[in-house]
Amino acid sequence: DAGITQSPRHKVTETGTPVTLRCHQTENHRYMYWYRQDPGHGLRLIHYSYGVKDTDKGEVSDGYSVSRSKTEDFLLTLESATSSQTSVYFCAIRGQVNYGYTFGSGTRLTVV
């Protein structure tokens, strides 16, 4: 598929533990995004990046941090996971001009 992979695909973790989700792309795209999807809320933007070391907050950034030290990787970290962060997380990439977004297959995170 389109050169974007998310890892892990599934994770169960305990409340209070740190968790890092990885998004890796092989398209050399400038823009990368993290969304979460929950029933009743649809897709909500957490953080996004418009270049190496350039990131910004989205709609629901509290409790999350991100890092982008190289073009191909965008990491989402939950410093201390809570049950409210149980969700499906999607990463997306976009090229330089008005191309459509390409989404990864998602990471299902369960915080118990």
Partner 1 sequence: DAKTTQPNSMESNEEEPVHLPCNHSTISGTDYIHWYRQLPSQGPEYVIHGLTSNVNNRMASLAIAEDRKSSTLILHRATLRDAAVYYCILFNLRDDKIIFGKGTRLHILP
Whole-angstrom Cα distance, residue 112 to residue 103? 27
Nearer to partner 1 by Cβ, of 50 and 82: the residue is 50
Does residue 11 interact with partner 1 by CB under 8 A? no
User: Residue 97 or residue 112: which is nearer to partner 1 going by CB?
Assistant: 97
Tell me: does residue 61 bind partner 1 (CB under 8 A): no
Can you tell me whether residue 29 is helix, strand or coil?
A: coil
- Write down the least CB distance from residue 36 to partner 1, Å: 11
User: Residue 71: exposed, middle, or buried by beta-carbon count in 10 A (0-12, 13-18, 19+)?
Assistant: middle
Which residue carries 């989205």 as its tokens? 58
Strands 73-78 and 19-25: antiparallel
- Span of 19-27, 54-62, 68-76, 78-86 interacting with partner 1 by CB under 8 A: 54-62
Identify which of residues 16 and 51 has a Cβ nearer to partner 1 in the complex. 51
Q: Does 104 bind partner 1 (CB under 8 A)?
A: yes
Count of beta carbons in the 10 Å neighbourhood of residue 26: 11
Q: Which of 3, 63, 95, 106 binds partner 1 (CB under 8 A)?
A: 106
